[in-house]
Amino acid sequence: MFTAKYQGYDINLYRSTDKRWIAGVCGGIAENMQWSATGVRIFTLFLLMFTGAFAVLVYIAAVFLLSSRPNESNKLKEDTYEESFSARTHRKKPHNIKQKMFDYGTSASSRTEEIRQRLAKVDKRIRALEEHVTSRKFYFDREMRRS
């Protein structure tokens, strides 16, 4: 039931074990977004000043919703699994929240080129089929089967 929490919600989101002051929430967000932990803490203080108790409730909820970052041996196993998964799906999983939000996939021009190539293959097969159906050999074989 809580497996997503311990897998970092598939976006590598954990509470930090290195950059922690209270519970590691700000450090974990900073590691995930590749920001400065100090900047995230300052933003959290501004949020606390302007929203009051709401920021404290959000922080407490994040403590319970995020698990601590696993140690390096577990991380190595997860990375190996992710590499084999991405090799199977031919597409890398987004590593953090920014990459997941701004992952636009392949460009429109490359998709258009792929569609053009597929249509060219279909056209080639249809031409070969038409050439066979309109040939004298096709009519001869059809007459031979009827008799």
**pLDDT 10s digits, 51-67:** 888 888 888 888 888 77
- In this prediction, residue 116 carries a pLDDT of 94
The sign one gets for the Cα dihedral 46, 16, 3, 91 is positive
Least confident of 47-61, 67-81, 82-96: 82-96
> Domain extents for the chain?
3-101, 108-146
**pLDDT 10s digits, 12-62:** 777 777 777 788 888 888 887 888 888 888 988 898 899 888 888 888 888
Helices (H) and strands (E) in the chain, counts: 8, 0
Based on its alpha-carbon atoms, the radius of gyration of the chain, rounded to whole angstroms, reads: 28
Chain centroid to CA 130 = 43
Residues making up the chain, counted from first to last:
147
Could you give the CA distance from residue 77 to residue 87 in angstroms, rounded to a whole number? 15
- In this prediction, residue 82 carries a pLDDT of 52
Where is pLDDT greater, at 49 or 68?
A: 49
